[in-house]
Amino acid sequence: MNRLEIYNTLTRTKEVFQPLNPPFVGMYVCGPTVYGHAHLGHARSALTFDVVFRYLKYLGYQVRYVRNVTDVGHLTDEVHGEGEDKLIKQARLEKLEPMEVAQRFTDSYHRDMDALNNLRPSIEPRASGHIPEQISMIREIMDKGFAYESNGSVYFSVRKYNEAYPYGILSGRKVEDLMEGYRELEGQEEKHDRLDFALWKKADSGHIMQWDSPWGVGFPGWHIECTAMSTKYLGPVFDIHGGGLDLMFPHHEAEVAQANAAHHPCAHEHRNEARYWLHCNMITIGGQKMGKSLNNSISLHQFYSGDHQALDKAYPPMAIRFFVLQGHYRSTLDFSNEGLTAAWKAWKKLSLAYEAALIIRDKGNPSVISVPEFFGDAESFGQRCSGSMNDDLNTAKVIAEMFGVQGLLQKLSTEPSLLNQVPAEAIQALAQDYITWFSDILGLLPESGGEVNGRKDEALAGLVEILIQQRKDAKAAKDFEKADAIRKQLEALHIYLKDSREGVSWTYEPDREI
């Protein structure tokens, strides 16, 4: 397969990827709501689209990757658009300003994603920083007749929209079926219909976060944020919209409706917000979706430190990255200690092959003409990886291909005489292809972590600093048992801390006996 094919949730089929304006690609991905630490489910979405970002760039596209930060408007009842703002609720519990909470957990999210070796997006807009754009889009939707003001709030009319377009085109839900599942909620008398969702909510006098608008003081609804920000940075129609499967309804469905209502007022102009909708499946724990609202999530901080009752041990970020990428992004992935430990061991094997590839990349004997039998079909390794990736971004098959050559790479690096039997061009191509797929596309880092070709790994440094801060916090709280446990966990990974007046320093010493 020479062309990239991806599964488009909008059409329920695999389609050849054809960007609107090649070589440029616009991709929008729903990012975190920053009221708590990132958990494994957040990691799956971020990792999935990090690899999409990497692979599109590998194919030669110039990608503008936009991932938002939601710091206002995400209410506790996501389906009905009611309840309390999640971030304000957390701020009240901690007795802090909402933006303090937002900044702290945004920083935490960045540290966790950096530790996983995710590339930063091209643009990372905050919802609170784009209030004018949201107000402008709400006015457009109202002008087209698809929204109405009620008691200082503005609601999107689902039935009015459904008269012009099929509401539910993304999720496959029908308006009639939705009506049966909707319950009466306090405050819904403001709505003309139970299906309608808020574009703008009137703020009561005690609401901490509020802005002036043509309809009075209030704050934006959750759905309008993403439509406004994606439009600002990518235009009214762009190439890829991504996110977790749990966001398909109501969030992404509402985005489709808002974009059509604002930008395509005639039915024959119905083009949707994005041409390709990609959804990664959920992380489950015991068969149930992992999430903060279900009180069953394990934060990435806890995976890195092992500080959770469900964890047998601490897991390095690359074990988590490998665990996620070894499954196809559209399949459910169930957490278990056994699965993570197996992923850790598998990553170590591929990591050794990566280091072997670095050693042998520039070796070989150019006088050798024929390819020996033991080299097998390794010459086509890179092509097979591309074929797997072009088949709906199948990282699981890419990893299988890497296991197919990892033994050969290690053998070639440990038995120098074999290098003289393989043409330089062939061995260099295999080594370089393996390095490219391991590092550049899958975004894996080698087990050596601290030093690769004399370069200190930034992701490892970020992780260690997170644990040093956790140890510092534990000592400040006089939890010396936890502080000592963190030190021992780091030493088990050959990372040694040194306390001094200037602070805490660390070294990575793989040859030092524990």
d(CA 149, CA 153): 6
DSSP-based three-state secondary structure for 315: coil
Average pLDDT of span 259-270: 70
Nearest 5°: phi and psi at 508? -110, 115
Sign of the torsion angle spanned by Cα atoms 469, 472, 474, 477: negative
Alpha-carbon distances, residue 300 vs 49, 245, 475 (angstroms): 18, 20, 21
Q: Rounded to the nearest 10 degrees, what angle do helices 98-115 and 40-58 cross at?
A: 60
pLDDT in tens, 39-56: 998 999 999 999 999 999
Query: Between the ranges 184-193, 307-316, 363-372, where is the mean pLDDT highest?
Result: 307-316
pLDDT in tens, 327-385: 999 999 999 999 999 999 999 999 999 998 988 887 666 666 666 767 777 879 999 99
Do residues 305 and 486 touch, judged by C-beta distance below 8 A?
A: yes
Position 23, amino acid? P
* The model's pTM: 0.84
- Exposed, middle or buried, 361 (CB in 10 Å: 0-12/13-18/19+)? middle
pLDDT bin (cut points 50, 70, 90) of residue 101 is confident
Give the per-residue pLDDT at 375. Answer: 75
Give the per-residue pLDDT at 513. Answer: 55
Which has more confidence, 28 or 264? 28
Position 369, amino acid? I
pLDDT in tens, 389-434: 999 999 999 999 999 999 888 888 888 777 778 777 888 889 999 9
pLDDT in tens, 484-496: 888 888 887 778 8
Delineate the domains of the chain, giving CATH numbers in brackets. 22-280 (3.40.50.620), 285-447 (1.10.730), 455-508 (no CATH)
d(CA 132, CA 146): 19
Q: What is the DSSP letter of 67?
A: E
Structure tokens at 251: 């969030």
DSSP-based three-state secondary structure for 423: coil
Structure tokens at 397: 């098959």
d(CA 377, CA 92): 61
d(CA 283, CA 297): 10
**DSSP tally for the chain: helices H, then strands E:** 17, 19
Do residues 27 and 53 touch, judged by C-beta distance below 8 A?
A: yes
Residue 143 has pLDDT above 80, yes or no: yes
